[in-house]
Amino acid sequence: MIDILKRNNVRQLGQGDQTMVLAHGFGCDQNVWRHLIHAFQHKYRLVLFDYVGAGQSDLSSYESVRYSSLDGYALDILEIFETLGLKDVIFIGHSVSSMIGARAAISNPAYFSKLVFVAPSPCYINDDQYTGGMERHDIEGLFTMMDNNYLGWSSAMAPLIMGNTDKPELSDELASNFCATDPDIAREFARVTFLSDNREDLRKLKVPSLTLQCSNDILAPVEVGYYIQKNTFQSTLVILEATGHCPHLSAPDETITAISTYISRH
């Protein structure tokens, strides 16, 4: 029998009657939430975890078939919820975890009270009717670089994704996180992340949500935030002054304030 909590390196801390679950993005682990942990642990029960292949997760649990779509990762989240007996959860997901959380909430909305999407994107690829921020050939080029030189890709992409050139230590941290992720799993997860199209899922979502979109993000431009707001049930959009793709690291105070304000008003 699989030990769910060991598989995903689940950690619980904080205090409070309501649970807040924090789900990291591609190439990261639960340590990226340190600022939000400090802000929320005195009011909420916090649950953190690592996706299989990241952080201190159990690498032996990785199955290419299971994780060939976002549904495999969404199933992991639901299994964690079931194992811990969670309900009325505030789910905070960064980047691809936003759509993973959305898929989980569509599958079993009873677990969730609110969703918070941090720098989300339901689709990264532009088409005639939608601005996702990237062209298909650009993404294919990223995959080629990852396949040929994963460490080189990590070093080159981290500063572009983090975006805050005045804080090089954050780019170094992101690059280190990329390098700490199992390369084979990272390559497969990257394809699942950047080739997924979850735009139709937005219309199926019945759990209220907050979208935090950064003012300048090479992976998820502001147009994505407006698209989510327009096509999602009870969706609240906040455009942050923060730049880059990781505002919970580069602008934690603004990110925390936006989340706290949303929760208190809803």
Three-class HEC string of 31-67? HHHHHHHHHHCCCCEEEECCCCCCCCCCHHHCCCCHH
Q: Is the pTM of this model over 0.85?
A: yes
160 found inside a domain: no
Q: Decide if pLDDT at 129 tops 80.
A: yes
pLDDT for the residue 266: 86
Would you state the structure tokens that stand for residue 17, as one six-digit string?
């009657």
Q: Decide if pLDDT at 179 tops 80.
A: no
pLDDT for the residue 177: 84
Average pLDDT along the chain: 95
pLDDT for the residue 163: 87
pLDDT band at 8 (very low <50, low <70, confident <90, very high): very high
pLDDT for the residue 182: 86
pLDDT for the residue 164: 84
120 found inside a domain: yes
180 found inside a domain: no
pLDDT band at 147 (very low <50, low <70, confident <90, very high): very high
226 found inside a domain: yes
Task: Express each pLDDT in 51-65 by its tens digit.
Answer: 999 999 999 999 999
260 found inside a domain: yes
Q: Quick one: 61 exposed, middle or buried, by C-beta within 10 A (0-12, 13-18, 19+)?
A: middle
pLDDT band at 212 (very low <50, low <70, confident <90, very high): very high
Arithmetic mean of pLDDT, 159-165: 87
- Give 164-205 as a 3 state SS string: CCCCHHHHHHHHHHHHHCCHHHHHHHHHHHHHCECHHHHCCC
Domain tally for the chain?
1
81 found inside a domain: yes
Task: Express each pLDDT in 57-116 by its tens digit.
Answer: 999 999 999 999 999 999 999 999 999 999 999 999 999 999 999 999 999 999 999 999
147 found inside a domain: no
Q: Find the helix packing angle between 168-180 and 150-162, rounded to 10°.
A: 140
Domain that holds residue 52: 4-134+196-265
pLDDT band at 250 (very low <50, low <70, confident <90, very high): very high
Give CA–CA dist 92/118, Å, rounded: 7
Nearest residue to 31 (alpha-carbon basis) of 48, 52, 19: 48
Handedness of CA 224, 160, 154, 182 (dihedral sign): negative
Report, as residue numbers or ranges, the catalytic residues: 95, 217, 245
Q: Are 163 and 133 in contact (CB under 8 A)?
A: no
Give CA–CA dist 40/208, Å, rounded: 20
pLDDT for the residue 209: 98
150 found inside a domain: no
Q: Decide if pLDDT at 255 tops 90.
A: yes
Domain holding 245: CATH number?
3.40.50.1820
Give CA–CA dist 200/99, Å, rounded: 11
Q: Among residues of the chain, what percentage have pLDDT more than 90?
A: 85
